[in-house]
């Protein structure tokens, strides 16, 4: 490709909209352009990187018996109503009607459609196992799209679905995909750590997210450097403290005025106490029924844990009117003493004594509240968000924290969709049984962005060779110099004939402009052709990752470049 013809409009200034490095560089290097909030057009360089990630994915999915299909983006509402997710999925779903007033959605995911497809064709155990995948656009109406490809409303995803006849088969499919993901991300040039996660709207009991650790990550990952345990903050398990807590004298319960003091920070400042001496009382509706959740003042409630513990379908914070009706007080003054709803407390609350709590009365709190004497708890459970420094649930040593970018996730769905939608098969003994399903997703564009977040410097992108849009850029100092131009064109032809993806910067630009663009775009190898080096029968090879410069005889340039590409990235 000639640079004069390549549609790669680079930018010298960073667009104001771009916050993350990957977002900035993908715009500046001419990889993509914003079309609407959370939606981007890929330009040729960006699309080439995306296609290379897709090809790696295809190779690894095919290697574990995956077969590629392509399903419609527009999905009928009837299928989502069968699974029960049409109403549950929420406002993130793009919904539309056709001219006949029939309801559809833009697919945020494809569990319903693939289940309907398979149930119409698979009837016998002899047709199993089955692993089908696709690579296509997905749509989710994010309330706040941001960070470029990290959280968009339109994005490219690889989603594979496995169908097995029993749990053993599902286990084999799950771990086949799990290990394929390890290979995919390694081949893409990043280390993605598998962590235990929550299944969210997809469902299922067992799931792992693949996280690329980076400061730009939206998710907090907790991990144990000693035993290898890792989980995102939504899933990380807490450890029930041993013993009955500190043995202290129980002081007299007192109600104290706290005018206009409703937050933990305000309470601590007003009463001169620490957050760990306070109890937060949060009022929720669990499937419409009020409950209270208690956590220590310096802890955050994990709503996912609470919902699972209560085994409810819908868990939501009560509104101000409901809180006032239940507690007799405005928001910020709820407390467990005298509260006539089920109380569910995090384990840490069991260790507390003489705590500060809301008084269920406006502008008042209680001090010296104690379990059993002043209030009783329905049950204790692991209900809070884990945090760095907490004990590991496996080896009990301290957990550490890091930010992570989720690039993939694998799920064991079981019969969640097959049972609801009547996708069954006949076992060898003739018994009709729901198909056992798994689901496996990779964010393709997000993977490209994560690669950039881990591979850049002050000059631009540093592409891993495996997904670089082009491998080599040839930069003659001056195309007006006939000797340089002829040498550049000859090398360009040789590299092309050898199957090496090459760009020739034939623009009538100053050398500095060409060099800056080459570094910004991130070509792994740059060949500089100048008058002095040619006089000596040499060209200069620059390795983008290390900035190493090598003067090479002209007749050996092709051999050296081929060797560099075969050896892979120079770390």
**159, 439 Cβ separation under 8 angstroms:** yes
User: What's the predicted TM-score (pTM) here?
Assistant: 0.87
Counted residue by residue, the chain has a size of 571
State the Cα–Cα distance between residues 440 and 176, nearest whole angstrom.
Answer: 11
pLDDT at 569: 63
> Would you place residue 173 in the very low, low, confident or very high pLDDT band (cuts 50, 70, 90)?
very high
Residue 90 has pLDDT above 80, yes or no: yes
What was the pLDDT predicted at 397?
93
Residue 204: pLDDT over 70: no
Query: In whole angstroms, what is the distance from residue 57 CA to residue 44 CA?
Result: 20
- Mean pLDDT of the region 181-186: 97
Task: Let me know if 322 is exposed, middle or buried by CB neighbors in 10 A (0-12, 13-18, 19+).
Answer: middle
Is the pLDDT reported for residue 292 higher than 90? yes
Arithmetic mean of pLDDT, 279-295: 97
Helices 167-188 & 44-63, crossing angle to 10 degrees?
140
- The mean pLDDT value of the chain amounts to 94
Lookup: tokens for 204: 């299922």
Chain segment 512-552, per-residue pLDDT in tens: 999 999 999 999 999 999 999 999 999 999 999 999 999 99
pLDDT at 203: 55
- The residue behind tokens 């319903």 is 112
CA distance 240 to 347: 6
Note the CATH architecture for domain 470-567.
3-Layer(aba) Sandwich (3.40)
34 neighbors 43 (Cβ within 8 angstroms): no
The average pLDDT across 458-479 equals 97
CATH number of 21-237+401-452: 3.30.930.10
Q: Is pLDDT above 80 for 250? A: yes
pLDDT digits (tens, 9 = 90+) for 403-433: 999 999 999 999 999 999 999 999 999 999 9
- The arithmetic mean of pLDDT across residues 431-459, rounded, is 97
Query: Is 50 exceeded by the pLDDT of residue 334?
Result: yes
Check residue 248 and give its pLDDT. Answer: 86
When pLDDT is cut at 50, 70 and 90, the band that residue 202 belongs to is low
Q: Where are the domains of the chain?
A: 21-237+401-452, 254-381, 470-567
Phi-psi region of 494 (alpha: psi -120 to 50; beta: other; left: phi over 0): alpha
Reported as half-sphere exposure (CB side, CA atoms, 13 A), residue 99 has a value of 0
pLDDT-above-70 percentage for the chain: 98
**Alpha-carbon span 445 to 429, nearest angstrom:** 45
Mean pLDDT computed over 13-41: 94
Choose the CATH number for 254-381 among 3.90.960.10, 3.90.1150.10, 3.20.20.70, 3.40.50.970.
Answer: 3.90.960.10
Q: Give every strand in the sheet of 549-553, ordered side by side.
A: 502-504, 472-476, 525-529, 538-543, 549-553
Question: Cβ–Cβ contacts within 10 Å for residue 84, how many?
Answer: 15
Average pLDDT of the segment spanning 373-393: 95
Residues 183-212 have a mean pLDDT of: 84
C-alpha–C-alpha distance, residues 347 and 242, integer Å:
10
pLDDT tens digit sequence for 206-233? 889 999 999 888 889 999 999 989 998 8
Q: Are 146 and 37 in contact (CB under 8 A)?
A: no
* Partners of residue 475 on adjacent β-strands: 528
**Are the CB atoms for 403 and 450 separated by under 8 Å?**
no
Beta strands in 122-197 (DSSP E): 130-139, 154-164, 192-196
State the virtual CA torsion across 18, 21, 27, 29 in degrees, nearest 10. Answer: 160
With 0-12 / 13-18 / 19 or more C-beta atoms within 10 angstroms meaning exposed / middle / buried, residue 516 is: middle
Residue 562 has pLDDT above 60, yes or no: yes
pLDDT at residue 241 in the model: 83
Q: Can you tell me the distance from the alpha carbon of 338 to that of 327, in angstroms, rounded to the nearest whole number? A: 9
Residue linked to tokens 């884990």: 386
| CA dist., res. 501 & res. 459, Å (int) | 22
Please tell me the predicted confidence (pLDDT) of residue 245: 60
Confidence (pLDDT) at 201: 56
Residue 400: closest CA among 224, 210, 231: 224
What counts of helices (H) and strands (E) characterise the chain?
15, 31
What is the distance between the alpha carbons of residues 128 and 216, in angstroms, rounded to a whole number?
41
CA–CA separation, 446 and 148 (whole Å): 9
> Burial level of 77, CB count in 10 A (0-12/13-18/19+)?
middle
Give me 60's structure tokens. Answer: 């690894």
Residue 532 to residue 354: CA distance in whole angstroms:
82
**What DSSP letter does each residue of 184-198 carry, written as one string?**
HHHHHT--EEEEE--
The average pLDDT across 160-171 equals 97
**C-alpha count within 13 angstroms, C-beta hemisphere, residue 238:** 23
The mean pLDDT value for 351-379 works out to 96
Residue 365, classed as helix, strand or coil, is strand
Confidence label for 571 from pLDDT (cuts 50, 70 and 90): very low
């Amino acid at each position: 490709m000639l640079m004069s013809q390549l549609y790669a409009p680079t930018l010298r200034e960073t667009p104001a909209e771009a916050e993350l490095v990957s977002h900035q560089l993908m715009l500046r290097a001419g990889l993509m352009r914003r079309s609407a909030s959370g939606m981007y057009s890929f330009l040729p360089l960006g699309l080439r990187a995306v296609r290379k990630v897709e090809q790696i994915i295809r190779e690894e999915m095919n290697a574990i018996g995956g077969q590629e299909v392509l399903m419609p983006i527009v999905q009928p509402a009837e299928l989502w109503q069968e699974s029960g997710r049409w109403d549950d999925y929420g406002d993130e779903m793009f919904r539309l009607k056709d001219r006949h007033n029939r309801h559809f959605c833009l697919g945020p995911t494809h569990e319903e459609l693939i289940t309907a497809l398979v149930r119409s064709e698979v009837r016998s155990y002899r047709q199993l196992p089955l692993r089908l995948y696709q690579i296509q656009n997905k749509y989710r109406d994010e309330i706040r799209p941001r960070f470029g490809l990290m959280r968009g409303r339109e994005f490219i995803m690889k989603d594979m679905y496995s169908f097995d006849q029993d749990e053993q088969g599902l286990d084999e499919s799950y771990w086949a995909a799990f290990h394929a993901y390890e290979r995919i991300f390694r081949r893409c040039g990043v280390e993605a750590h598998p962590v235990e996660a929550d299944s969210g709207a997809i469902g299922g009991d067992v799931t792992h997210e693949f996280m690329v650790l980076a400061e730009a990550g939206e998710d907090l990952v907790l991990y144990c450097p000693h035993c290898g345990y890792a989980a995102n903050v939504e899933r990380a398990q807490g450890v029930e403290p041993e013993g009955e807590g500190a043995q202290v004298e129980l002081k007299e319960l007192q109600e104290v005025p706290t005018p206009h003091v409703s937050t933990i920070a305000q309470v601590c400042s007003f009463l001169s106490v620490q957050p760990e001496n306070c109890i937060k009382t949060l009022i929720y509706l669990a499937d419409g029924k009020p409950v209270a959740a208690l956590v220590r003042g310096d802890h955050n409630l994990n709503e996912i844990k609470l919902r699972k513990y209560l085994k409810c379908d819908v868990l939501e914070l009560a509104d101000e009117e409901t809180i006032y009706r239940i507690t007799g007080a405005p928001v910020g003054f709820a407390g467990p003493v005298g509260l006539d709803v089920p109380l569910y407390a995090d384990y840490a609350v069991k260790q507390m004594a003489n705590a500060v709590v809301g008084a269920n009365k406006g502008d008042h709190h209680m001090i010296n509240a104690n379990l059993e004497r002043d209030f009783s708890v329905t049950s204790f459970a692991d209900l809070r968000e884990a945090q760095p420094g907490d004990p590991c649930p496996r080896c009990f040593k301290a957990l550490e924290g890091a930010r992570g970018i989720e690039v993939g996730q694998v799920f064991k769905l079981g019969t969640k969709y097959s049972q609801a939608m009547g996708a069954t098969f006949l076992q060898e003994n003739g018994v009709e049984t729901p198909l056992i399903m798994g689901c496996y997703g990779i964010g393709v564009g997000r993977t490209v962005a994560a690669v950039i977040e881990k591979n850049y410097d002050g000059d631009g992108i540093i592409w891993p060779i495996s997904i670089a849009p082009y491998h080599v850029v040839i930069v003659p100092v001056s195309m007006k110099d006939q000797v340089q131009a002829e040498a550049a064109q000859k090398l360009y032809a040789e590299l092309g004939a050898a199957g090496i993806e090459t760009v020739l910067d034939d623009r009538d630009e100053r050398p500095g402009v060409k060099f800056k663009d080459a570094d910004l775009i991130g070509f792994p190898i740059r060949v500089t052709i100048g008058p002095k080096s040619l006089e000596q029968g040499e060209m200069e090879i620059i390795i983008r990752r290390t900035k190493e410069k090598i003067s090479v005889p002209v007749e050996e340039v092709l051999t050296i470049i081929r060797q560099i590409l075969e050896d892979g990235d120079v770390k």
